[in-house]
Structure formats: C-alpha cells, structure tokens
Amino acid sequence: MRLLYILFLFSLLFIFACTPKSSSFQQFLGQQPSKVFDLLIFNGQVIDGTGKAAFKADVLVAGDSIVYVGEVDTALVQVRKIINASGKIVSPGFIDTHAHGEPRGKNGFRNFLAMGATTVTLGNDGSSPDNLQEWMQKVEDHKPDVNVALFVGHGTIRIASGIQYDSLPSQQQLERMGQLLREQLEAGAIGLSTGLEYLPGLYAPAYELEYLAKVVGEKGKLITSHIRNEDDNAVEASIKELFLQGKHCSVHVSHLKVVYGSGEQRAEEILALLERARKEGVKVTADVYPYTASFTGISLLFPDWALPPHNYEQVVKTRRKELATYLRERVNKRNGPEATLIGTAPFAGKTLAQLAQEKNKPFEDVLIDDIKPGRASAAYFVMDEDLQSRLIIDSTTMISSDGGPEMRHPRGYGSFSKIIEEYVVQKNLLPLEQAVYKMTWLPAKTLGLTDRGRVAVAMKADLLIFDPKEVKTTATYENPFQLARGFDFIFINGKAAAEAGKYAPERSGRVLRKI
C-alpha cells in the first residue's frame, strides 16, 4: 500500500509538471470571440493597487479594459502593441483626489499626466462650474489629457440658490439648494465639495451642511471638505463639524494639515480623532499632499469683516488701524512675511517681506493698499515636516496634489512623483506597494470609481510602467512649472498617453460620471 501511495504522489507531480503553464490562458482564450488584442505588457512586476506584494505577470488589454493578468502565450494571440516591461513596475495610474484647473486650458493637464496621475477630481473647495452638465459635455468633446471627475461646489450652489452671504438660510432656500445639488449629483457628479474657510462657505451654519449631507447620502455619494479652520487650535473642532455631516453620508477631509502644529505626536492626535470617529460609524477618509507650504487666495489673511458682503474700501476708511493690527498679528503668527510667497502677477515670485522692503512700508500696508483681498494668491510656509510626514505615511490617508497647471506651487507638478522619489526610494518611509495603494485603489474606492485603481480583469486600462529609482520631481517653488520625469509609459483607457517622455498628440482622457 505504501508503494502504491508513493506511485500515486509521483503521478500527481508528473501530471502537474506536464500541465502547460498557459492552461489558464488557454481557458481564457476559449472564452474570447477574438484572438486579436490591443496591448500586451509582459515580464513586468505588477503592483496591482491593493497593497499586496508585487508579482511577475503579463497584462493583456483589449479596447479600454484589462482582459487578462497572468502568463500570456504570445504564440496563441495577435497583439497590436507589445511592451517588454522587464525590470520595471506595472501599476494602475494614480488618482488625484483634490486638484484644480481647466482641462481645456492652453496648457491642458499634462502636469498631472507627467507625474503619473491618470484621473483627477475637480470642483473642489466649494467651487464648481455653474452649469455642470454643459461643462462636462464641453470637456468630453475636447477630450482631456486625463480622466476628470467632478464635485458639485457648495459655494457655487449657495450663490445660485440666492442664499449668497446669508448666514441663516430659510427652509425654502435650503430646499432650493438641495434641489440644485440633487440635479447635479444625478447628472454624474461624484459628490459635494465644501470650502468652509472661503466665501461664501464660511457663512454656512451647521443645519445647512447637515441638510445637504442628507441629500448626498440619499445618492450614496461623498462630501469632501476644506474644513473651516486648519489652525492648530481649531483643526479638531473643524474636523468634528465634518463628523456631524458624516452621520448622513461618507465624508472626506481635503488636504489634511495642521497649521502651526508640530511633531509626530500632534499628527497622532489627529489620526486618533479620525479613527475614533470610524469606530463610532462615521465613514471618514482624508488626503494629504507632500509639501509644507499651502497655496490659496490672499483673502485668507483678512478678517471676515473686511470681506464680502462688507465694503472693503469703507472698512479701510473707517477701521484701517484695526485692520493693520489684525493683518500684522496674523501674518506674524503664520511664520512672518518671509513665509508668504505671492503667486499672482504683478508680484509673483516675491515674498511679502520683499515687497515691503521694495515699497519701503510695513507689510500690512502692502496687503491693505497694493494687494487687497481677492486680488492674489500665495504659498504659505506654515506646516511642520515631521507632522505632515506622519500624516502622509499613515495607512488610512491617500495622496492628492491640490495643484493645477497654472498654480505657482510645485505640488501641481510633483506631488505623486515626490511620494515615490522621496518617501519610497530615498527615505524608505513607505513600501512601494503601500504608496501605490494610497494613490490608486484607496482613492478609487473612496470616490466610488470602482472600475479604476487596480490592475485586474475588467478594470479600465489606466496603467503606468516605470522604474521607481528613475522617477524624479523637478518642480520647485522658484520654478514650479517643470514636469516630473521617470514614467516610461502612461496609458489612459488603453491608449498610450506618453512613451519615453514623449506625449501622444491625441488625448485619451474621459469625463467620469457617477450616476
């Protein structure tokens, strides 16, 4: 009996050894109406986006979708384009959960494409196109460089509903705003964005935001929020305000940061706050960008009483001394005038301190008389490297750029490449598989883009081929409009968007509607 058992085991091993390695591929082919495919990427190390370890596999694409991941027998198929990815990583394209810009602008969205982002989300910070359906159609007709998904801007529909700067909207006004939101969500927007530190969002009371959260929840979508105040002494209260909306729908903290905060321990406190909320049933997520300077309108420095609907010129005339004191104290608290780098003409590239020296007057007077609220944007060096790095490497956060093609900040040209170059390769703070997960499948799940973000059968073929050691970020604060390098091949919806640093003349991005 023992001899028979041994012979049985040997027979099994013989059968296994003689089974063609391509048997699963042959089974796949037997189910296909055609043996002709559009793209084969072979010999690569696949990082599929889920966080699991890299594995060797071929990736076969037909049309805009991945149809097979495994070992492909090239003798059995015809392929229009074949790429040998030996020694390279094959991953999903990155998904930017918070971006800005106009896809039809003169520069397009090549800045996102160059750093590996194949999908971006727009309509952030409470501001979106007035006519969402019309805008979507125009972008679709234009064919964007990358895929584009859109949020409905809370501030935009607040203005459209007639509430504008009213801090106590009526039930009738809420219903009007809710109807506008509902219509645009049904048109394919992926959720609602709020910008509660900006006009007119800063006037929104809790009951207004909760009312809209119920509408978003009805549609199974997401609220993404630039929270009311990111300062160290107010950030927790602002996040908790978002949790109230999270009783009714999924919520997301845009570009998580702690202005003036410092140290890893402070980051741990913020992350613990989010985790406690999750345990209490709030579906809350967050994204972070890998820079210690923010970038936004100069109005951020001014008090509410100097902003619309208040008359600025009248404020200057009657309360100038008070305004100057406020601005001086606020800017000094934000690391001084040297830490405010203007990004808008005619003062672009100069700090507030440099302008004060050039004009031979206090920086607060430069703000009051020369710049004024609503007239400029700036980079503000107000974040702590250790704190932000801890937020970035946490397993629950994803990566965003908060940048655009014309924004004078390197984050719009380097956020994703910097994660690989600095956090993966140089500092070894993140395994590559984890970094890719944070830039692909995690944001895809969060945004509800369930057919992207993974290298898997039936997923859209948004793909990158690269050597991590060759990925370089070239954008700086001095020269922010420099494209990242190192992504050898970039595919969007199955079509080559870039090869060896050369960009395809035909754009292959789409508008992604979530119905």
From CA 182, how far away is CA 167, in angstroms rounded?
22
From CA 19, how far away is CA 415, in angstroms rounded?
46
| pLDDT tens column, 49-59 | 999 999 999 99
Residues 6+ apart with CB under 8 A from 214: 248, 249
Place of tokens 């028979």: 4
| pLDDT tens column, 233-262 | 999 999 999 999 999 999 999 999 999 999
The strand order across the sheet containing 191-195 reads 94-96, 117-122, 147-153, 191-195, 222-226, 250-253, 284-288, 397-399
- In which residue ranges of the chain is CATH 3.20.20.140 found? 94-293+383-453
Given a cut of 70, whether residue 13 has pLDDT beyond it is no
Secondary structure class of 504 (helix, strand, coil): coil
Helix boundaries (H) for 105-146: 110-114, 132-142
From CA 343, how far away is CA 409, in angstroms rounded?
8
199, 440, 441 from 449: Cα distances, Å: 30, 10, 9
* Joined tokens for residue 40: 């084969």
Amino acid identity of residue 433, one-letter, is E
**DSSP assignment of 357-393:** HHHTS-HHHIIIIII-TTS-EEEEE---HHHHHHHHH
Amino acid identity of residue 235, one-letter, is V
| pLDDT tens column, 304-326 | 999 999 999 999 999 999 999 99
Given a cut of 60, whether residue 3 has pLDDT beyond it is no
What pLDDT, on the 0 to 100 scale, is given for residue 22? 60
Helix (H) or strand (E) holding 42: strand 36-46
Given a cut of 70, whether residue 9 has pLDDT beyond it is no
| pLDDT tens column, 210-232 | 999 999 999 999 999 999 999 99
CB 176: neighbour CB atoms within 10 A? 17
| pLDDT tens column, 418-464 | 999 999 999 999 999 999 999 999 999 999 999 999 999 999 999 99
Given a cut of 70, whether residue 17 has pLDDT beyond it is no
* Joined tokens for residue 232: 């160290």
Backbone CA torsion sign across 286, 292, 294, 295: negative
What pLDDT, on the 0 to 100 scale, is given for residue 185? 97
What pLDDT, on the 0 to 100 scale, is given for residue 501? 85
Residues 6+ apart with CB under 8 A from 83: 39, 40, 41, 42, 465, 489
What pLDDT, on the 0 to 100 scale, is given for residue 16? 37
What pLDDT, on the 0 to 100 scale, is given for residue 10? 44
Query: In this structure, what DSSP letter does residue 259 have?
Result: B
From CA 238, how far away is CA 101, in angstroms rounded?
26
| pLDDT tens column, 333-366 | 999 999 999 999 999 999 999 999 999 999 999 9
What pLDDT, on the 0 to 100 scale, is given for residue 468? 98
Q: Where are the beta strands (DSSP E) in 350-473?
A: 377-381, 397-399, 463-466
Give percent of the chain with pLDDT exceeding 90: 91
| pLDDT tens column, 283-304 | 999 999 999 999 999 999 999 9
Given a cut of 80, whether residue 8 has pLDDT beyond it is no
* Joined tokens for residue 348: 């672009």
- CATH number belonging to domain 94-293+383-453: 3.20.20.140
Instruction: Estimate the crossing angle of helix 171-186 against helix 206-218, to 10 degrees.
Output: 30
Q: Which residues of 304-327 are buried (b: 16+ CB within 10 A; e: fewer)?
A: eebbeeeebeebeeebeeebbebb
Farthest-apart Cα atoms in the chain, separation: 105
| pLDDT tens column, 28-50 | 998 988 899 999 999 999 999 99
Query: In this structure, what DSSP letter does residue 337 have?
Result: G
What pLDDT, on the 0 to 100 scale, is given for residue 23? 83
Place of tokens 């160059």: 114
Helix boundaries (H) for 143-286: 154-160, 171-186, 206-218, 235-245, 264-279
Average pLDDT, the chain: 94
Residues 6+ apart with CB under 8 A from 166: 173, 203
| pLDDT tens column, 107-142 | 899 999 999 999 999 999 999 999 999 999 999 999
